[in-house]
Amino acid sequence: MYILPSNAAGTTSASESLTVTTTLGNLQTTRGTPLGRSLNVIGDGTTPTYVYISPDGNAGTGSITVTSAAGVLLSTKSVTFSGTATKFGTAAIPATSATVIGATGTTIVSVAAQDASSNTAPDATVYAFSSDTTKLTVPATAVSWATATSNYPVTVTGVAAGTATITFGDATTLAASTFKSNPVTVRVGSATPANVKVTLDKTTYNPGEAATLTVTVVDATDLPVVGGTQTDIFAAGGIAANATLGSISDTTTAVTFVTSALTTTKTYTVYMPSNGGPVKFSWTGGTGLAAANRVAGSLTVNVTDSGAAALAAVTALATTVASLRTLIVTLTNLVLKIQKKVRA
């Protein structure tokens, strides 16, 4: 850490004696020379004064304070010292990595090693293991700590189509590990399309509402193929609607397109027509699919009719008003009858 004293206006102040203390660790003014948990330094208000902190064998979070010669607390910082790793956090595939890869394709599985107090342990011994090396492989060497993500990421390589799990341990074999992570499933997918699925995120929309149209290319086992260029999935015309969509809608006429490596899908944003009624999306499977699936497909959603809805509301209101009028007439007649009886 560095110290540069300033006054209340935020500008640098004059030279002043400062006391730095910590509740854990050793403070140093020169790297490699521990001076204990408290020391005095001179802050000249112009050049930063550097103070280093190193472990003292105790795990936990230390609080570092800087006070002036007058005893005014100027700053408080904290630093965490981890102990020996005793467990792993939850192992997972990062959001930026693929859950489905191709043969020879790669993805990342990562885990955080932790001490008994769940502090991150950057100096742990970590290895990764595949449950089936005919499907997935990982390096046999120890997994290195990644400072940027504060965890241990391992590169997983696909071998052949199928599914396997990746588990982390603290020894060179999973059997010898004293603690292990949860297993993370990775699928090696096919790159051969057999069929295509088209879905929308809702069944009913308001006029002009945005809709997400999702295209999923699947293999012969009905599982999504690996993300990438999907060729001739649709026949000429791609996906067409029987109504005029909003002018800023994505174009859905492509027959060849790229699916995401992360989601294995292709998504389009389209805007529903301004008029109510059913909207039908149609397509025909292209030559990139299995011959049996080169057939027509469609899905239909409904756009609410704002005019009809308004008319229904007016009609309902008119019915309510008529009912109230009838009730008022009935009550008026009753009051008149009561008045006649009272006069008699």
- Per this entry, what is the length of the chain? 344
Kindly write down the DSSP assignment for every residue of 128-151, as one continuous string.
EEES-TTTEE--SSPPPPBTTTTB
Question: Quick one: pLDDT at residue 322?
Answer: 83
Q: Bridge partners of 307?
A: none
**Strand 106-111 with 152-158, pairing:** antiparallel
Is a pLDDT exceeding 70 seen at residue 10?
Answer: no
Q: What is the pLDDT of residue 318?
A: 76
Percent of the chain with pLDDT over 70: 94
The pLDDT score that the predictor gives to residue 314 is: 66
Assess whether pLDDT exceeds 80 at residue 12.
Answer: no
Mean pLDDT to the nearest integer, 118-145 = 96
* Distance (Å, whole) CA 280 – CA 204: 12
Backbone dihedral angles phi then psi of residue 279, each to the nearest 5 degrees:
-125, 125
Between CA 72 and CA 78, with CA 76 as vertex, the angle to 5 degrees is 155
Q: Which of 274, 277, 266 is nearest to 204 (CA)?
A: 277
State the fold for domain 195-304. Answer: Immunoglobulin-like (2.60.40)
Domain 87-188 has CATH 2.60.40.10: yes
pLDDT confidence of residue 46: 74
CA-atom Rg of the chain in angstroms: 35
Count of alpha carbons within 13 angstroms of residue 334, beta-carbon side: 6
> Contact at 8 Å (CB) between 232 and 256?
yes
Helix (H), strand (E) at residue 328: helix 306-343
User: What's the pLDDT at 312?
Assistant: 65
Higher per-residue pLDDT: 81 or 183: 183
Predicted confidence (pLDDT) at residue 9 exceeds the cutoff of 70: no
Cβ atoms of 46 and 67 closer than 8 Å: no
pLDDT of residue 43: 74
The Cα-based distances of 187 to 16, 100, 101, 165, 341 in angstroms read 62, 5, 6, 9, 89
Whole-model pTM?
0.73
Higher pLDDT: 327 or 131? It is: 131
**Residue 299 CB: number of other CB atoms within 10 A?**
16
Across residues 276-290, what is the average pLDDT? 97
Q: Taking Cα atoms as reference points, which of 225, 222, 228, 249 lies closest to residue 238? A: 249
Average pLDDT of the chain to the nearest whole number: 91
What pLDDT shows up at residue 342?
73
Q: Is beta strand 229-230 parallel, antiparallel or unpaired with respect to 257-258?
A: antiparallel
